[in-house]
């Protein structure tokens, strides 16, 4: 099980906020740019034959943007309107993000309510499980609540299932060495969520298979 003691040389305060903000901006810029491109096509008199394509691009990108914002509000703790979330509600958030992707989501999350911290851990783990399948496969996400707390499991199975070095460091609560901060911050955020709740995170990767397990105590 991954050690949850706080390591040194890790971002805190403004530095952590800047990394999360950078991650969100990176995620939002693609659908936002696509919406802008679609609007430009609609305004171009010489491109009126592409009007249907432009509208399709705008609609798909708008759905993606809404899905990203809804997900981020839970994943990064900005949702203040709800104290607890249902398993079905969280499944819809993750499914909306995975729409059109190569990986298939297998959502086997128990019913009942999940606290903000549990929901944050669950959706981040689910997204990282999907992200471990760049060439497709099955991302299984399940929960089990026992006397000692909640266990959340993500299992990615596919031909090229893998964790990038940045993700491995983040999931272990280690500082980023070489690599991209955007690939490191969300795995680290998941580790931080588990640690702050007094829980633990275990990540294992082998050929064609990645498993992530978070334990959140009662």
Least confident of 33-42, 43-52, 98-107: 43-52
**CB-count burial class (<10 Å; 0-12, 13-18, 19+) for 191:** buried
| CA 216/CA 199 separation, integer angstroms | 5
pLDDT at position 123 is 97
- Count of other CB atoms within 10 angstroms of residue 56: 12
pLDDT at position 178 is 81
- Give the residue-averaged pLDDT of 118-145: 97
pLDDT at position 78 is 62
DSSP H stretches of helix in the chain: 14-43, 51-75, 87-98, 116-131, 165-171, 181-196
The model's confidence at residue 79, banded by pLDDT at 50, 70 and 90, is low
Closest CA to 152 of 67, 84, 87, 79: 87
pLDDT at position 3 is 45
- Give the residue-averaged pLDDT of 85-101: 92
Least confident of 29-33, 44-48, 183-187, 193-197: 44-48
pLDDT higher than threshold 80 for residue 6: no
In the chain, what percentage of residues exceed pLDDT 70?
Answer: 94
pLDDT in tens, 97-108: 998 889 999 999
The model's confidence at residue 62, banded by pLDDT at 50, 70 and 90, is very high
pLDDT in tens, 138-169: 999 999 999 999 999 999 999 999 999 999 99
pLDDT at position 100 is 82
Q: Mean pLDDT of all residues in the chain?
A: 91
Please say whether the beta carbons of 141 and 94 come within 8 A. yes
Pairing assessment for the beta strands 137-146 and 103-108 based on DSSP bridges: parallel
Least confident of 24-33, 47-56, 63-72, 166-175: 47-56
Please say whether the beta carbons of 129 and 105 come within 8 A. no
pLDDT at position 10 is 86
pLDDT in tens, 168-181: 999 999 998 888 89
210 forms beta bridges with 156, 205
- Count of other CB atoms within 10 angstroms of residue 11: 18
φ, ψ at 217 (rounded to 5°): -70, 160
């Amino acid at each position: 099980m991954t050690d949850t003691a706080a390591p040194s040389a890790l971002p805190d305060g403004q530095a952590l906020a800047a990394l999360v903000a950078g991650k969100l901006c990176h995620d939002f810029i693609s659908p936002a740019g696509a919406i802008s491109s679609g609007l430009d096509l609609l305004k171009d008199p010489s491109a009126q034959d592409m009007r249907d394509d432009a509208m399709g691009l705008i609609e798909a990108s708008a759905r993606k943007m809404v899905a990203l914002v809804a997900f981020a509000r839970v994943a990064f703790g900005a949702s203040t309107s709800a104290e607890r979330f249902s398993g079905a509600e969280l499944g819809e958030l993750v499914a909306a993000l995975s729409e059109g992707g190569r990986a298939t989501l297998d959502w086997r999350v128990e019913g009942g309510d999940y606290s903000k911290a549990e929901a944050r851990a669950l959706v981040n783990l689910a997204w990282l499980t999907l992200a471990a399948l760049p060439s497709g496969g099955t991302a299984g996400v399940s929960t089990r609540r026992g006397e000692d707390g909640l266990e959340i499991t993500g299992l990615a199975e596919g031909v090229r299932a893998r964790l990038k070095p940045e993700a491995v460091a983040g999931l272990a609560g280690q500082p980023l060495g070489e690599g991209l901060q955007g690939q490191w911050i969300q795995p680290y955020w998941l580790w931080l969520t588990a640690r702050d709740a007094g829980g633990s995170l275990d990540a294992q990767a082998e050929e064609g298979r990645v498993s992530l397990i978070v334990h959140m105590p009662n």
